[in-house]
A and B are shown apart, each in its own frame.
Chain A
Amino acid sequence: MRKVSRLIKQAREVLQIEAQGVLDLIERIGPEFEQAVEMILNSKGRVIFTGIGKSGIVGRKIMATLNSTGTPSLFLHPVEAVHGDLGVVTADDIVIAISKSGYTKELVNILPILKNLGVKLIAFCGDPESPLAKESHLFINVGVEREACPLGLAPTTSTTATLAMGDALAVVLINQKQFNRKDFKRFHPGGSLGDRLSIKIKEVMFTGDRIPLVAIDQTVRETIFEIDKKKLGASLVVDNSLVLLGIVTDGDIRRALLHWKNIMGLKVEKIMSKSPKMIDEEKNVSEAVTLMEYNAITVLAIVDKLKRVKGIVHLHGLLGGREFRLNGSQ
């Protein structure tokens, strides 16, 4: 009995500390928050979140919230960024960099590159003296006075506070954009995000002419045309019975260009990935999203039990990066 009481007391202390961390933000919100909102509203680009570890996870959640409330967002991993993913960033974008200390090396390393690209930089961190805070155009203080974890080994209060600040940003943006119930329905046709992820893939996949498709004996040139035309960044490769044999992505073409002098005349078989990820059309959207996140891919082939291509989905489409369309309709 005594043990339970001690555990409950400890749990209450943790909740008290975390709640206090969020409450402290109320007094701290200032003109820089308003400037951040203005900056996002006036931007022609997207909001790109970046962060590592638990800050990265928090960044992904805020990104998802912004996407589902009408602000196009995406997540950029700081390590992947320096290995090519920075290509996704344009001068019109706003980058929100998240770090509890503001000293995270991987994050600090990409700041000069981001600034050179001309993006606007907003820091979500807890130390105004940190390199991240100093290098950013705006500093939003999400610092907390106390972590709720022994020795502060795991960020607890600080991640809660950052998440809450992200929600504050999303809600203020909703109001500023006058995002109404109709808009919300457009982004959540299933009712809630949960409902949406539980519907069958076959209900949301691109089908028919929307599927980028080439035959195994076609050339790379024809494949590039197909990818360009269907605008999903990849094309499926099939045999005469539409059985999936492979996939060619933008990345495969990039690698082929480095390997061969002239790739246009090559057969697509030479450059395709021969073990494409696929999923049954009867599965749920959530399973497709999990599979794509696990394999770090953005395009997934949808097949029937005989591995015949029935459709294709893109991660951004499933997560709300664009309007959610039933059966891939326009």
Chain B
Amino acid sequence: MEVNKAPKGLIVDLITPLDDKGDIDNDGLGSLLKKVLPYADAVLLASPKMGEGSGLSLTLKTNLLKKATAFIQGRIPIFFWISEDSSENTEKTLTLLEDLLKSYSYKGGVFWLDSPLYYHSNRGLYDHYQDLTLNTKYPFVLYNDPGLINLLERPLKRCNIRTSILKNLTEIGKIKALIFRGSLTRVNNYQKALNRRPDFRVYDGDEDRFLEYPSMSGVLSIGANIAPQIWSNVTRASLGMLGEDRKERDYLNQIWEMGKLLKDLKKIYNPNPVWTIKRSLVDLNIIGFHACTSATQPYYEKDNILTEFISKHTIE
């Protein structure tokens, strides 16, 4: 699958199913992908927070990509988070994953998702990407998440890609999109910087922002792990992708109710999304284990409110 443009719509920020030995839970991954694939326009693997990418070893990342590609088989594009603690290690991960895909000639769409400020400063970012993009045939998606950078122990001067730097980066054709979290003013400035690239997509990395003021490219959704169909309906309605489906008379009301449901759902899993969602997926027999990496803090609650909410509202 030759990729000239990043997809539009719902990107599911997939949890990484692990077994009790800490390996990839192959069956769980298969079941989860089976649940989300019919509704997703792309799937993000090993994301820093939800996919626990910052806590996954290189071996686990390699296994995850291998097993996911075997299941997805090019049906939708895969976004894969490659950032490590340094430029050298990021490059090493990229090379290893690239070689893996080459080894079985994977034909599907793959985008390398990179959070540059996770390991690099704004200074010299253009040169860094010129080098990095030379080493791969796959396109890149940038991930601007100030929250992630603030979690790092080392103090950094900036936690957002500077607008002028982003403008330079968009001269590199292999960089196709940006997932954005942060202030409205900044995203507006980014948008101005991107005017020369009409093919460039800016996805909302914040579910709440998308539900309030939807961007026209799409959304990175955590909640779609448990409610992919509802998230798909809302995303497609917000982006004008529904076509004939919107002919139902109470279409607006249905979308409004679904939007409200997703907001209520988010309130439940928001304090610790990985822990809470994994627990519900175990309750629903989609994944087999509630195992998380050490990067995820345990979050104990007496009853699983999320599972009860899902059952009450018959969410599929």
Contacts and interface: CB of A to CB of B under 8 A. Distances in A.
Choose among A24, A101, A150, A152 the residue with the greatest number of B CB atoms under 10 Å from its CB: A152
B211 A145 contact: no
Interface stretch (A12-20, A113-121, A293-301): A12-20
Nearest to B251: A153
A101 B244 CA distance: 13
Contact of B195 (A16, A27, A100, A105): A27
Contact of A151 (B185, B198, B214): B214
Contacts of A145: 191, 202, 215-217
Interface residues of A, number: 28
A103 B243 contact: yes
Interface stretch (B39-47, B114-122, B233-241): B233-241
A16 B211 contact: no
B239 A20 contact: no
A294 B233 CA distance: 36
B240 A100 contact: yes
Interface in B233-287: 234, 237-240, 243-244, 252, 255-256, 259
B237 A151 contact: yes
A255 interface: no
Given A17-B213, A28-B195, A126-B216, A151 B240 contact: no
A245 B146 CA distance: 75
- Give the interface size bracket for B toward A: 20 to 34
Nearest to A13: B184
Contact of B238 (A17, A143, A148, A151): A151
B192 interface: yes
Contacts of A27: 192, 195-196
A23 interface: yes
Interface in A1-45: 13-14, 16-17, 20, 23-24, 27-28
Contacts of A151: 211, 214, 234, 237-238, 255-256, 259
A143 B255 contact: no
Interface of A: 13-14, 16-17, 20, 23-24, 27-28, 100-101, 103, 105, 126-128, 141, 143-153
